A and B are shown apart, each in its own frame.
Chain A
Amino acid sequence: NAGVMQNPRHLVRRRGQEARLRCSPMKGHSHVYWYRQLPEEGLKFMVYLQKENIIDESGMPKERFSAEFPKEGPSILRIQQVVRGDSAAYFCASSPYAALTSGNTIYFGEGSWLTVV
């Protein structure tokens, strides 16, 4: 049973370019979460999606960032016109249900490391 798959694992973009990060949740999981981790910082929640719906985007920067989780295919985190401050590790996680109660938790992918030069 494959885990949460993220790609690319490493991505280098020049300032002003677009970055697209992809996440395929674990089989049977319909809830996806994106987190960002800056160097020497903790995990910051960005967005929570269910198939075709954004449930909570309270952690997303208001500009340049967007996320989607279409009916078919992986979830995409898109960063337009990247700046050096966007350099970070972006982690995707998935869960089978919304309620993180006993027996249900979220599982993380290996992360995508974005470097903006």
Chain B
Amino acid sequence: QKEVEQNSGPLSVPEGAIASLNCTYSDRVSQSFFWYRQYSGKSPELIMSIYSNGDKEDGRFTAQLNKASQYVSLLIRDSQPSDSATYLCAVNQAGTALIFGKGTTLSVSS
């Protein structure tokens, strides 16, 4: 059974701080890793994808992947109240559907 684990939170950070979101996965052959953001009552929206070990930066977002530790994280710099949402980690192997974690709720206070 493939599993993706996330701390449900809520994770509370002040505006301007760095938010750190973590995710572990059980299937060692997983190849692709994604972070989605979901606002309440809305559909998931892709933020970042990462496929190789190391860091990948896109604006205020940095995804980090460590396949040996089966760990992927998302850092949000200069957090804004508009970043308040649930962040979903998703993992897949080639030819299969994405498997999602339950999500971490982030609250950014102004």
Size bracket, chain A contacts: 20 to 34
Number of CB contacts from chain A to chain B under 8 A: 54
- Of the listed residues A42, A44, A93, A110, the one surrounded by the most CB atoms of chain B closer than 10 A to its CB is A42
Task: Tell yes or no: B96 within 8 A of A by CB.
Answer: yes
Asked whether, in the complex, the Cβ of A110 is within 8 Å of the Cβ of B102, the reply is: no
Chain B interface residue count, CB cutoff 8 Å, equals: 22
Asked whether, in the complex, the Cβ of B96 is within 8 Å of the Cβ of A101, the reply is: no
Q: Which stretch, B11-19, B43-51, B57-65, B71-79, touches the partner chain A?
A: B43-51
Task: Tell yes or no: B32 within 8 A of A by CB.
Answer: yes
A75 to B34, alpha carbons, bound, how many Å?
A: 24
Asked whether, in the complex, the Cβ of B94 is within 8 Å of the Cβ of A101, the reply is: yes
- Which residues of A come within 8 Å of B, CB atoms? 33, 35, 41-45, 48, 55-56, 91, 93, 98-102, 105-111
